[in-house]
Amino acid sequence: MNKIKLSNGVEMPQMGYGVYQVSPDECERCVMDAISVGYRMIDTAQAYQNEEAVGCAWKKSGVNRDELFLVSKVWISNYGEGQTMKSIDESLRKLQTDHIDLMLLHQPFCDRYGAYRDLEKAYKAGKLRAIGVSNFFPDHLVDLASNMEIAPMVNQVETHVFNQQHEARKFMDEFGTHIMAWAPLAEGLNGLFTNPTLTQIGEKHGKTAAQVALRWLLQSDVIIIPKTVHKERMQENLNLFDFELDAEDMKAIATLDTAHSLFFDHHDGKIAKQFMEWRGLVKPAE
């Protein structure tokens, strides 16, 4: 498994298993399956409401804690100095661990400055091995990183062959922030699984379009967390290290970039209003 070294020297697997939209009832089984086939990074979040299932799964897996890299995210209802720290402690309890390897702010809304200051405090206290953000556009990232003691080590954003984030990465590189992809397979939108370019490249290497799309991300130094509830797909998604895309392949895939989200724009006022409605999705830690 390839590893990415963060700005503080911590190494994280470049590929992990994501549990977005995996129900709490199914999550424990899925995470145990993922660990059994070789995944060593698990990405969850307070808003997914399955941190507890992730904690139970890794404890039952028999794998030592120091072999796993656990990622979670603070939801906006828990933003604010003091409140964010309480929510981190709650996430630690649910994940059944004394530290989280990477903790992110989930969205660039509400009191992200107070929340990030708590991430810094928890990092210095040893509760978090690395800290970062998620869904931060360049202006969000530049503003936060320029006004905090510790620049975000990771920014998890929508990244796939149709939204390659070239411009945003210039600003991440400036602050030593690594890019981490959510929806690395675009959730199958835009016909990714049958895309002619990806399919033709896959035929050349004996791989599927999905494997080509994921391999492109790996060769582009992107951290990825593909999600599936099927064990055979977990294995298929992990089977990316026995081939390499050549320069011609990479050039062809570069032409697929639309530089636009397939989901939503965090600068859209309507989207911001929706997040204000959703902020109570997770009850603040007591």
Active site residue ranges:
48
Question: What element of type H or E holds 273?
Answer: helix 269-278
Alpha-carbon span 221 to 82, nearest angstrom: 35
Burial class (CB in 10 A: 0-12, 13-18, 19+), 81: middle
SS3 content of the chain, % helix, strand, coil (to 5): 50, 15, 35
Sheet containing strand 154-158, strands side by side: 17-18, 41-43, 69-74, 102-105, 131-134, 154-158, 178-182, 223-224
User: Which of 39, 240, 251, 266 shows the shortest CA–CA distance to 164?
Assistant: 251
- DSSP 8-state code for residue 74: E
Residues of 115-139 as b/e, b for ≥16 C-beta within 10 angstroms?
A: bbbbbebbbeeebbbbbbbbbbebe
- The SS3 call for residue 161 is coil
Query: What is the token pair recorded at 188?
Result: 């199958």
Residues of 186-219 as b/e, b for ≥16 C-beta within 10 angstroms?
A: bbeeeebeebebbeebbeebebbbbbbbbbbbbb
270, HSE (Cβ side, Cα atoms, 13 Å): 2
